[in-house]
């Protein structure tokens, strides 16, 4: 059995590959995650018609382990809260046992005595088989009505909503009706077994003697378990969607629509199982890292800004660790939790991580950024990569970074090759940031305040010019994502009416400032590569190449002067 979701009234138990994780939430909104390793015989679970029994009995065993884990967790608390928590916990399950006893008595009356009493009076002259068939249908109807009543009882809503969340996880779909009709969930399996066995026992209606009746009815129950499992397994794995929709007839009785909290609690168990091989008890005053990740992911996904790298970066930054070290962290303090969630709130509103923390990691270098500079993107690392290849190949010593911004390109080049680097920008604020970054990273760079080439020495020649200029069309800036439009400086975005103004000016002047056979490297916007290539060809650049980024978009254009 690869995976099984066990819904609880206050959370879920998630079993996967020999490990059981219980994730719960109490009335105060406090979430807990704990678990244990559980032995299983994988070979037995693959035997047709036998696996149904194992699924049922192993499921009940895992339910029992879920309750024990919760009870053990409460026993680990401090003495002042221990007794009260145990009493509340035990009273809940005493009430649950009492409900089962009441249901058993009602079931005996409703399913045993009432149908026989009614139909013996109404259909006493009918045939034995018709009489038995009507009793079977009536018992099914009563059972169904009882389930419908329970479906709308407030004290069952938590159980059913957590079951709905589990179905979404198992089906791989989110927030759809079909996702909540995952046929082979444990509660639905129990309902199907119950309905089938009640119908068959009533229909056959053996009446030999007590012992014979018992063993015949037991055989019917065992057959019901085996056949129900195989049918539900077939429906679950079938590509015929209408078969899954048929399962709604019973599945809706034990499934509710989960809210964000139900999904977060389940996600906490999923992350715990996928991230760690061993379980570790979390101190009551701390928050389990799996629970934290679940909340972060839910918050960012709801804003459609979820990226796993963002989650990892936020946690690593707040905890002052690198990403590799955060994989060993099992819990965070209450203060760390609050700081992390504050950062998540800002990220969900569109604020870039670089603005939230005031720095960004670029090409293995830490750079401070603010609203005066454009935060360097991952794609720009490809520009640095390609430029460094040529610098090393031809031993280029004089490098010019045009439109330097935060200084990312200039600092990366100076850091990884012993050359003379000049960095130019028209913004005083940007140059202040770039100079500070260069100093913090221990590199020596000449910074020049200039509108492109105007402030540079006319006789100074460079072996290579690298530039990531503004390339957004003026009319498209307001259409940009709030992350760019609101937090990046407009001067670093606006490339003119067609987005190519800076390329035209740089290419036209570059030949005057490049040494013989000098190189010119650009980062370009989507769809601009061919146009920039044509502009370079018009100014007699050759050996022009185009490089794609991680998303297969033509992102880098570079070439060489023909003379």
Q: pLDDT digits over 487-526, tens only? A: 556 666 656 788 898 999 999 999 999 999 999 999 999 8
Decide: 557 and 469 in contact? Cβ < 8 Å: no
How many angstroms separate the most distant Cα atoms in the chain? 117
How confident is the model at residue 122, as a pLDDT? 61
CATH number of 366-561: 3.40.50.150
Q: Is the pLDDT of residue 179 over 60?
A: no
287-320 pLDDT per residue, tens: 999 999 999 998 888 887 667 778 888 998 999 9
Instruction: Report whether CATH 2.60.120 matches the domain 283-349.
Output: no
Q: Is 236 helix (H, G, I), strand (E, B) or coil?
A: helix
Count of CB atoms within 10 A of residue 290's CB? 24
Q: For residue 22, what is the enclosing H or E element?
A: strand 19-25
| Rounded distance between C-alpha atoms, residue 237 and residue 244, angstroms | 9
Give, for 449, the enclosing helix (H) or strand (E).
strand 446-449
Say yes or no to pLDDT of 29 above 80. Answer: yes
pLDDT, residue 83, reads 53
Greater confidence, 245 or 183? Answer: 183
Are 283-349 and 366-561 equal in CATH topology?
no
Buried b (16+ CB within 10 A) or exposed e, 41-55: eeeeeeeeeebbebb
| 464/374 Cα distance (integer angstroms) | 23
pLDDT, one tens digit per residue, over 43-100 is 666 778 888 888 998 898 999 888 888 877 766 555 445 555 555 555 555 655 665 5
Lowest mean pLDDT among 160-164, 299-303, 473-477: 473-477
**Residues 24 and 89: beta-carbon distance below 8 Å:** no
CB 434: neighbour CB atoms within 10 A?
Answer: 28
Which residue has tokens 């969930």? 185
The answer to whether the CB of 402 falls within 8 A of the CB of 503 is: no
Say whether 201 sits in a helix, a strand or coil: helix
Distance of alpha carbon 524 from alpha carbon 557, whole angstroms: 7
Q: Mean pLDDT, to the nearest integer, of 346-363?
A: 86
- Extents of the domains making up the chain: 3-260, 283-349, 366-561
Please report the pLDDT score of residue 80 as a whole number: 45
Q: Tokens 């009640």 map to which residue?
A: 198
Only one residue has tokens 């940031």, namely 433
């Amino acid at each position: 059995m690869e995976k099984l979701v066990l819904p609880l009234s206050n959370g879920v138990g998630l079993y996967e590959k020999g490990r059981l994780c219980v994730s719960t939430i109490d009335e105060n909104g406090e979430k807990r995650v704990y678990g244990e390793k559980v032995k299983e015989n994988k070979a037995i679970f693959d035997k047709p018609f036998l696996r149904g029994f194992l699924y049922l009995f192993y499921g009940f065993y895992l339910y029992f382990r879920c309750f024990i884990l919760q009870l053990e967790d409460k026993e680990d608390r401090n003495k002042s809260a221990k007794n009260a928590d145990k009493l509340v916990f035990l009273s809940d399950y005493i009430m649950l046992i009492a409900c089962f006893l009441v249901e058993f008595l009602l079931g005996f009356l409703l399913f045993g005595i009432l149908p026989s009493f009614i139909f013996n009076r109404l259909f006493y002259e009918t045939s034995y088989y018709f009489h038995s068939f009507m009793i079977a249908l009536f018992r099914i109807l009563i059972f169904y009505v009882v389930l419908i009543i329970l479906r709308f009882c407030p004290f069952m809503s938590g159980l059913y909503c957590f079951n709905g969340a589990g179905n979404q996880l198992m089906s791989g779909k989110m927030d759809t009706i079909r996702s909540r009709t995952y046929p082979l969930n444990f509660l639905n399996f129990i309902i199907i077994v119950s309905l089938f066995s009640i119908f068959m026992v009533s229909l056959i209606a053996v009446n030999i003697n007590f012992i014979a009746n018992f063993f015949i009815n037991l055989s019917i129950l065992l057959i019901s378990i085996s056949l129900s499992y195989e049918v539900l397994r077939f429906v679950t794995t079938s590509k015929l969607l209408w078969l899954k929709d048929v399962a709604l007839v019973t599945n809706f009785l034990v499934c509710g629509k989960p809210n964000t909290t139900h999904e977060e609690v389940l996600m906490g168990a999923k992350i715990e199982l996928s991230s760690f091989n061993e379980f570790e008890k979390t101190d009551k005053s701390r928050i389990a890292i799996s629970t934290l990740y679940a909340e972060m992911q839910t918050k960012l996904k709801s804003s459609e800004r979820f990226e796993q790298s963002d989650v990892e970066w936020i946690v690593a930054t707040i905890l002052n660790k690198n990403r590799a070290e955060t994989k060993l962290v099992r819990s965070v303090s209450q203060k760390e939790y609050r700081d992390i969630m504050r950062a998540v709130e800002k990220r969900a509103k569109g604020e870039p991580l670089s603005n939230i923390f005031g720095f960004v990691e670029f090409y293995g270098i830490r750079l401070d950024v603010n609203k005066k500079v454009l935060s360097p993107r991952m794609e720009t690392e490809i520009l640095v990569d390609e430029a460094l290849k040529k610098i090393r190949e031809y031993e280029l010593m004089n490098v010019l970074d045009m439109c330097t911004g935060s200084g990312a390109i200039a600092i990366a080049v100076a850091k990884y090759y012993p050359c003379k680097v000049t960095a130019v920008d028209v913004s005083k604020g940007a140059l202040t940031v770039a100079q500070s970054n260069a100093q913090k990273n221990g590199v020596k760079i000449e910074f020049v305040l200039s509108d492109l080439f105007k402030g540079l020495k006319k006789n100074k020649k460079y072996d290579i010019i690298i530039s990531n200029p503004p390339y957004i069309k003026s009319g498209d800036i307001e259409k940009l994502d709030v992350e760019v439009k609101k937090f990046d400086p407009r001067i670093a975005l606006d490339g003119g009416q067609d987005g190519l103004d800076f390329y035209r000016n740089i290419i036209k002047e570059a030949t005057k400032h490049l040494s013989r056979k000098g190189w010119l490297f650009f980062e370009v916007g989507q769809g601009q590569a061919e146009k920039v290539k044509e502009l370079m060809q018009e100014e007699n650049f050759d050996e022009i190449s185009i490089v794609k980024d991680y998303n297969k978009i033509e992102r880098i254009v570079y070439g060489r002067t023909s003379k």
